[in-house]
Structure 1
Amino acid sequence: MNPSSRRPKARTAATTGRKAEWLALIYLSMKGYRLLARRFGGKGGEIDLIVKRGRTIAFVEVKARGALEDALSAITPQKHRLVEARIRQWLAQNPWAMEHHLRADAVFLAPRHWPRHVLGVFELVL
């Protein structure tokens, strides 16, 4: 879909999401993580960031909200299932990764707050 054909609210949300992903990536890079993939997936759900540090591969959901408390509650059970399906898809395409420690993380962002990186935000059942 052409981004200019989206409604203004959807365009604003997409722009906010892309900015949040870049901020999260910069933050994770400063912590020693290296980007493997960005926005993996597509219709039906995607993984915002896939990063690696040492023997750990983290599948990262990025959530930006007006208040940090809202960001912290933004990963729903439905989102969990969608992300897990995309993780299985990525692992099928990257079987070498199965030799690493796999983790589902999240980075929560809100104005006037440092990013919050939560390790193992949900348990992976692969």
Structure 2
Amino acid sequence: MTGEARSRRARRSGITGQRAEWLAILWLGLKGYRPLARRFGGKGGEIDLIVKRGRTIAFVEVKARGALDEALIAITPEKHRLVELRIRQWLAQNPWAMAHHLRADAVFLAPWRWPRHVPAVAELGL
């Protein structure tokens, strides 16, 4: 694959990811969550969304795939480990959040399907 084809695919993937995150924000907003941060961290270990509802703060991984089943299996143990490092970093910068219930959630998206929000999709080892 040429460098140009790779950069085109990466650009398309980035646009798809941004669109998926906005859909997830809208979906979670309908459920009463308000966004605190978006795309916190860096490449590989980024937290897609950080949202709050009442006394709960959720660190949300957003996965968009061609089919909902593909999205459901897209969070690997390695991805979870990297995101957990970013959660610790965010909590260090926002110590007030430690007084809240902390959760790792996910929103899965696929074409022509309603988004699927899964609260507490993984245990936080904090």
TM range (shorter): over 0.9
The answer to whether 1:8 aligns with 2:18 is no
Letter in 2 for 1:72: L
Q: Provide the rounded CA distance (Å) in 2 between the counterparts of 1:64 and 1:43.
A: 17
- The secondary structure found in structure 2 opposite 1:9 is helix
Question: Whole-Å Cα distance in 2 between the matches of residues 21 and 29 of structure 1?
Answer: 12
Instruction: State the 1:43 CA deviation.
Output: 2.9
Q: Output one character per residue of 1:38-75: Cα deviation in whole Å (capped at 9) or x when no partner.
A: 00001341000000000000000000000000000000
CA 1:44–1:69 in 2, change beyond 3 Å: closer, same or farther?
A: closer
Q: Structure 2: any 5+ residue segments left out of the alignment?
A: 1-5
Partner amino acid, structure 2, of 1:39 = R
TM-score by length of 2: 0.94
The residue aligned with 1:23 is 23
- Distance in 2 separating the partners of 1:76 and 1:21: 19
Q: Does 1:97 align with 2:94?
A: no
Q: Give matches, 1:1-126, under 5 Å.
A: 7-126=7-126
Cα RMSD of the aligned pairs, angstroms, is 1.2
TM-score (norm 1): 0.94
Moved beyond 2 Å, runs of 4+: none
Deviations 1:85-126 (A, max 9, x none): 000000000000000000000000000110000011100001
CA distance in 1, matches of 2:48, 2:19: 12
Aligned-pair identity (%): 78
SS of corresponding position for 2:80: helix
